[in-house]
Structure 1
Amino acid sequence: MLYDLKSAKELAFRVCIAAGASKAAAASLAEATVAAECSGRSSVGFAHLPDYLEGFLCGRIPCTEEPAILYPAPALIQVDAKGGIAQLGFDRAFEELQTRANTYGITAFALKNSYTAGELGYYVRRLARKGLVAIAATNGPALMAAGQSIEAVYGTNPLAIAAPAGNGAPLVIDQASSATAFVNIRQAAERGDIIPEGWAIDGKGQNTVDSREALKGALLAFGGMRGANIALMVEILAAGMTDANWSLDAPSFDEGSHSPGIGLFIVALNPELLAPDFSARLASQIERLSSKGIHIPGSSYVEDEIDIPSSLVATLEEYCRL
């Protein structure tokens, strides 16, 4: 089903309110959900929204908590989401994050005690549109095995970067440390589909292409140990630097009554203080790389309408009837 962006945001907002979310949380989540679809990250767009809705209904996400914001130093912003959504905590600090990054040249944003962060590229893209270069990391409940372990020890632990590029769309790189998103495994299991080799192991630690067996096991890192090392780097930033739960200690995002309590760490930099023509230079470099057949992430952001599966729309509408 095709939705223009305004109608898609209204749908997301309406079902969030029906599930018990505050108007502020619903607005933040609706904006981020549609943005994920526009960027082509549907696995963390409307497909992920039911996880939030169940979270509101079951108490995993507090419906009325307002994030607390502290400033431990001029170039540091610390947010306690109090079990709520990361998107709202980011929204509450967004203007101050811009102001301080422009004033001091660099500012770090550290958010803890939140539900999963959704599309990580969403946060850095918004900052890049304001002329800043931004790097972000977030963790989540343990879903991915690493090394010789058959136990899940890390979340999908994505890393993202965005940068302004002249008058065009920002450059946005957003990729998980895992070979695929957990939502993709879950959707494949619901359909009974086979998954590619290298995505996951089963409950006995054996490589599997059976999506249902994969749900009993763990995701795998992309690139073997290199991907696992990136997951650990992300864990240090997202959990260590924010004082959030390590992935091993984070409650499930889809079961129980406790928020995962994970972290989101962002560094925002004003590039013009170091390289006054940064944005123009990057735009020129992107054009040069494109001419050589290089794919430039972030360049295909949708600005008009998105397609949401009718079965998913029906699932979302059910929350309005509860």
Structure 2
Amino acid sequence: MRYDLNSAREFAIRVCVAAGASMAVAISLAEATIDAECSGRTSVGFAHLPDYLEGFLCGRISGTEEPALFYPTPTIIQADAKGGIAQLAFDNAFEELQTRASTYGVTVLSLKNSYTAGELGYYVRRLAHKGLVAIATSNGPALMTAGQSKEAVYGTNPLAFAAPVDNRAPLVLDQASSATAFVNIRKAAERGEMIPEGWAIDGRGQSTNDSREALKGALLAFGGSRGANIALMVEILAAGMTGANWSLDAPSFDEGRTSPGVGLFIVALDPQLLSPGFSTRLASQVERLSSKGIYIPGGSYIKDEIDVPSTLVATLEGYCFK
């Protein structure tokens, strides 16, 4: 089904409220959902929304808690989501994050006790639209193994980066430390599809192409030890620096009644204070790289309408009657 953006936003808000979210939570989550769809990250757009709705209904996500914000220094913002969603805490801190980064050159947002962050690129993209360069990391319940271990020890532990580019949508990188996102394995399993070699191991620790067996095992890091090193770095920033749950200690994001309690760590920098004319200079470099056949992520953005599978619409509508 095709929706204009306002209708899609209203639909997302309606189903979130029906599942027990406050209006503030519903609006924050709807905005992030629409943004993910518009940026082409549909797997963490409407397709991911049932995970939040189930979380509200089962108590894994607090649908009404207001996050707490603290300012221990002029350049640090600490947030406690109190078992709620990361998006609302980010929204509440956004103006201060932007103002302090522009004033002091750099500001850190450290968030703990939240549900998984959804599309990580959403956070840095919003900051880049305000002229800031931003880096974000987040962790989640253990889904990925590393090294010689046969058990999951890290979340997919994504890393995102964004920078403003003159006369163009921001440059945005957003990638997991795992060879693929967990939602891709789950989607393949639902369809009975095989997965590529190197994505996952089964419950016995053996490499598998069977998506359903992969759900019993663990994801693999991209690039072997190099991806695992990035996952460790992300874990230290997103869980260690924030005081959130380590991935090994985080409850499931799709089972039980307890919040994963994971973290989000964002660094925002004002490039103008370091390199005046940065976004213009970057635009020239992007154009030069593009002329050489280099793909520059983040340039495309849908602005008018989005498509949502009718089966998914029916699933989401069902939450209005639970």
Q: TM-score, normalised by structure 1?
A: 0.99
What's the secondary structure of 1:178's corresponding residue?
A: coil
Match of 1:307 in 2: 307
The separation in 1 between residues aligned to 2:13 and 2:95, in whole angstroms, is 22
Q: For the aligned residues, what is the CA RMSD?
A: 0.6
Gaps in structure 2 of 5+ consecutive residues: none
Q: Which runs of 4+ in 1 moved over 6 A?
A: none
Match of 2:40 in 1: 40
Cα distance, 1:167 vs structure 2? 2.0
Structure 1 range deviating more: 119-128 or 189-198: 189-198
Does the CA contact (< 8 Å) of 1:43 and 1:181 recur in 2?
Answer: no
Match of 1:236 in 2: 236
Match of 1:83 in 2: 83
Does the CA contact (< 8 Å) of 1:29 and 1:88 recur in 2?
Answer: yes
Q: TM-score, normalised by structure 2?
A: 0.99
Letter of the 1:145 counterpart: T
What's the secondary structure of 1:92's corresponding residue?
A: helix
Cα distance, 1:181 vs structure 2? 0.9
What's the secondary structure of 2:47's corresponding residue?
A: coil
Gaps in structure 1 of 5+ consecutive residues: none
Which residues of 2 match residues 202-221 of structure 1 at below 5 A?
A: 202-221=202-221
Aligned residues: 322
Deviations 1:4-59 (A, max 9, x none): 11111111111000100000000000000111111111111111110000000000
Match of 1:196 in 2: 196
Does the CA contact (< 8 Å) of 1:156 and 1:178 recur in 2?
Answer: yes
Match of 2:142 in 1: 142
The separation in 2 between residues aligned to 1:11 and 1:209, in whole angstroms, is 37
Cα distance, 1:321 vs structure 2? 1.5
Match of 2:100 in 1: 100
The separation in 1 between residues aligned to 2:286 and 2:166, in whole angstroms, is 10
The separation in 2 between residues aligned to 1:131 and 1:14, in whole angstroms, is 32
Deviations 1:136-174 (A, max 9, x none): 000000000100001000000000000000121000000
The separation in 1 between residues aligned to 2:120 and 2:187, in whole angstroms, is 20
What's the secondary structure of 2:172's corresponding residue?
A: strand
Cα distance, 1:288 vs structure 2? 0.5
The separation in 1 between residues aligned to 2:223 and 2:305, in whole angstroms, is 35
Matched, 1:158 2:158: yes
Letter of the 1:230 counterpart: I
What's the secondary structure of 1:118's corresponding residue?
A: coil
Matched, 1:113 2:113: yes
Matched, 1:282 2:282: yes
Matched, 1:184 2:184: yes
Structure 1 range deviating more: 155-164 or 183-192: 183-192
Letter of the 1:254 counterpart: D
Match of 2:9 in 1: 9
What's the secondary structure of 2:140's corresponding residue?
A: coil
